[in-house]
Structure 1
Amino acid sequence: MHLQTHVFGPADAPSVLAIHGLTGHGRRWESLAAAHLADVRVVAPDLIGHGHSPHLPPWSYDHHVDALTAVVDEHIPAHARPFVVVGHSFGGAVAVRLAAALGADVVRGLVLLDPAQGLDPAWALQVATDSLTHWDYADADAARAAKRAEGWADVPDALLDKEIAEHLIDLDNGRVGWRVAAAAAATAWSEMARPFVLPPAGVPTTVVVAERVDPAFVSEAFLRACAAERAESVEVVRADCGHMVAYDDPDLTAGLIRAMIGHR
């Protein structure tokens, strides 16, 4: 499946594959790329069911990995490998599985921003059900208020305005909603309730835990497993911010990506 892919930065710069979170899109990485990583080539696809990529199923982890592998083949040539993968939330869960599929010869390192996997199934069901119940909004102001209540409390106004302008669309029922397939979003909550997967052995990984998120997306069980089984390759960074890490703390995010680019 061919994904709509946004590319920011110079063609001859080190490449980073950036994977957005649930209900997101690749252009969410544009502000970070322009203001903090201007000398890095950021390849940012819209995931299946999101943005301008195809919305048709299937929407499983495996199919996301297959589609992203095709993005890598198209946009990151052999001379630009190994490269760094950064993933936010659901995108972090996908990033771990993509790294396992591609291997350490292709993936230089992982930066996982509040990765969401191994979620409590009962909680995932509740959130998925609630999100489908409140999937659309009366107008842009209502959509904006919902974002502020759903983890965007500290995101700058300009970035939220940009999200509204680029990602909110008119629906057939006369209301508005995000450019996302509702069924794909529900499926993602199901996937995130599957057991967590550790980063591949030998792939340097930074896990960012957003400490203002309650309940947490990053489980203590996952962190303990990383400490026990990946102590030599996984670093945990606890950030005093909300779930939208790249928006809330772009300096930290860019610094971690740059450090991973320079990792040997």
Structure 2
Amino acid sequence: MNPGHRLHVHRYGPDGPVGLLAVHGLTGHGARWRYVAEHLPDIAVAAPDLIGHGHSSWAAPWTIDANVTALAALLEGTADGPVPVVAHSFGGAIALHLAAARPDLVNALVLLDPAIGLDGEWMATIAAAMLASPDYPDAAEARAEKENGAWSDVDPELLDIELDEHLIALPTGRVGWRISVPAVMSYWSELARPIVLPHSTPTTLVRATRTSPPYVEEALIDGLRTRLGPNFHLADLDCNHMVDQAHPAEAAAVIRTQLARR
């Protein structure tokens, strides 16, 4: 881990030891978890900005492993023992690696439309498109991209908040998300790494049925089901990719259900 990898952490719920770690997706930030946390007022939630995102360190290396190391250090310093982890998209890949590498820190996983083990050609196409157009002429175009994509079923008021908090003016006069573009380019490659499975961590996977093309592949579901048996649960939700933004109450209910199984 780069010693400069400082994580900016958003905290929700009561003070005290962390009771739930929440990991956002690629190009996101930890404050997105506030809506899920509102439905879990009794749980102390830590929602860090990942490396290269938001107000956390943008220093290289930009890898899943570097984020796992940083998150492990966060839990070692703020939790009293192993905690459940809820994660969205790219955060799901990080959470799976964290549970595999440090099972002493993670006692349950809730994966919201996780992205891991994806096709390398597909990731190359996405990365090339981002490299060609990493920002926007104005906020209206940034909003339109989200409205016509993964955020199509998110409350417009939440999208307003996202633009207010996460879209910044660039030196070029254009606007872009508060992210390190080089870091995100590296992370698209990381998503083509092989699937990693937890050793025995009870896991619930929520598949967003409107995500097209899908991030959740049968290989991941089959691997989790084979590895975990009755400790694996699959739920389908009729929504686009931004599960925690479009359906925060339902996401919180899934977390409650998983906690009750422990």
Q: TM range, normalised to the smaller chain?
A: over 0.9
Q: Which residue of 1 aligns with 2:99?
A: 99
| 2:37 aligned partner, one-letter code | A
Q: Could you say what secondary structure the match of 2:261 adopts?
A: coil
Q: Could you say what secondary structure the match of 1:232 adopts?
A: helix
Q: Which residue of 1 aligns with 2:125?
A: 126
Shift of 1:33: 1.1
Aligned partners of 2:53, 2:108: CA distance in 1, in Å? 25
Residues 1:11 and 2:20 are matched in the alignment = no
8 Å contact 2:25–2:91 — kept in the other structure?
A: yes
Q: Which residue of 1 aligns with 2:177?
A: 178
Aligned length: 258
8 Å contact 2:100–2:196 — kept in the other structure?
A: no
Q: Which residue of 1 aligns with 2:66?
A: 63
Contiguous gaps of at least 5 residues in structure 2:
none
8 Å contact 1:14–1:261 — kept in the other structure?
A: no
Q: Could you say what secondary structure the match of 2:213 adopts?
A: coil
| 2:33 aligned partner, one-letter code | W
- Residues 72-99 of structure 1, C-alpha deviation per residue, up to 9 Å, x if partnerless? 12322x2xx2211011000000001111
8 Å contact 2:29–2:49 — kept in the other structure?
A: yes
TM-score, length of structure 2 as denominator length: 0.95
Q: Could you say what secondary structure the match of 1:208 adopts?
A: strand
Aligned partners of 1:208, 1:216: CA distance in 2, in Å? 12
Shift of 1:14: 6.7
Q: Which residue of 1 aligns with 2:160?
A: 161
Q: Which residue of 2 aligns with 1:214?
A: 212
- Residues 161-189 of structure 1, C-alpha deviation per residue, up to 9 Å, x if partnerless? 11101100010111000000111111111
Contiguous gaps of at least 5 residues in structure 1:
none
8 Å contact 1:3–1:46 — kept in the other structure?
A: yes
Shift of 1:206: 0.3
8 Å contact 1:210–1:241 — kept in the other structure?
A: yes
Q: Which residue of 1 aligns with 2:53?
A: 50
Aligned partners of 2:189, 2:16: CA distance in 1, in Å? 39
8 Å contact 2:29–2:54 — kept in the other structure?
A: yes
Aligned partners of 2:236, 2:146: CA distance in 1, in Å? 23
8 Å contact 2:109–2:204 — kept in the other structure?
A: yes
Residue identity (%): 47
8 Å contact 2:18–2:75 — kept in the other structure?
A: no
Q: Which residue of 2 aligns with 1:253?
A: 251
| 1:75 aligned partner, one-letter code | T
Shift of 1:225: 2.0
Aligned partners of 1:5, 1:122: CA distance in 2, in Å? 34
Q: Which residue of 1 aligns with 2:37?
A: 33
Cα RMSD after superposing both structures = 1.3
- Residues 32-83 of structure 1, C-alpha deviation per residue, up to 9 Å, x if partnerless? 212x11111110000000000011110111101011112112322x2xx221
8 Å contact 1:201–1:233 — kept in the other structure?
A: no
Aligned partners of 1:252, 1:126: CA distance in 2, in Å? 32
Q: Could you say what secondary structure the match of 1:155 adopts?
A: coil
